[in-house]
A and B are shown apart, each in its own frame.
Chain A
Amino acid sequence: AAAGKMAALGSGGTRWRQAWLPALQQLRRGSKAVTRHWKAMHLQRQKLLAVTEYVPPRPPVPPRCRGVTAWSHRVPCPQEDGLARVLRRQLEDTLRDSRMVAVCQYNSMADEDMATLRHFLRRHNIHVKFVLNEIARPVLAQSKFRTLLPLFVCRNILLVSPEARAREMLRVLRGVPQVNLLAACIDDTILSPQGVENFARLPSLQECQGQTVAALSLLCSQTSSLLQRGPSHLTALLDQHIQRLRGAEGATEPPQG
């Protein structure tokens, strides 16, 4: 038994060397591969991870030179909406068919007041239209009302009418403080509020026509009176003379009688 042990320990001079196996030797100290805590990495591994990090592709033109800001990705791309198309077409038809288009600023008012206003304006054939700026702006930019674009900022309404009844419109709007007239386009002429007032004070078309006719025929109407001026003057003088003679005769008679 002793001899066997001796043989097992080392057979003579040759000793069986234990190979150094890293899988066994390195596990003598330290934790297992999977730990609850974040196991410290070997420096070489850390270096390897640092070298092999992700490098994103760089565009040839930096995004800030292309006009990309922090807020540009938040603006949603305009999606063509059926409802928007319908509203746009309606607005185009309205603008085409109306002679007078008045842009007013609208402050919120009660529904009843709004209904009353609509009623009074409708009596004079003026229609009240609420417009959304995001639809109105592209429509106006392409039409002849380009100058009215800066007005479409806040809530606004359009008063459209196929006939230009500015006086009645102003009278109604004067009684409503919540609706302020900003500008109007009457017969392809853009007018400011003062211009609208002046337009309202103008006489109507028939009166103007009558005045023109009267002015033109004034000279012609004066011709007959001019011709008759001489004889009429003579007639007047003779009448006066007769009266004076009659007055003289009458003065002499009463002293006789």
Chain B
Amino acid sequence: RYIRQLQRLQLLLSPTSADSRGARQFVEEAAVDFARQHPDVVLYVSLRSGRAPVLLAEYLNGTVREELIANKTNEEIVQLATKLAGQSGLDIIRIRKPFHTDNPSIQGQWHPLTNKPSALTVQGPRLQPK
């Protein structure tokens, strides 16, 4: 059971400015293919003139990521979109450990007294002479 963490992709275009040429080409050619390959991602395209073209990605835990797509070619936008689709909404900061377990020890956690004979069997020094 795999649930994609990307909720929506909002593409803000502007029909006239030159830096959203790649975005317009993406919308014309590759957007439908992208939507078919990722059926659980919703793709919105809205035309806003007077603003830089931006790809907004919203994830299931509420984080919103903006990526500028000004002056990018069609293929680059496709790669960006697939990268965003594979990410989850966690912050991209330094992670201390590359693994995470809920049950770290199964056979009991090691403490310095494992594998040592118990105090009952160890023979101490005999105080009374025999």
A binds B: no
Residues of A within 8 A of B (CB): none
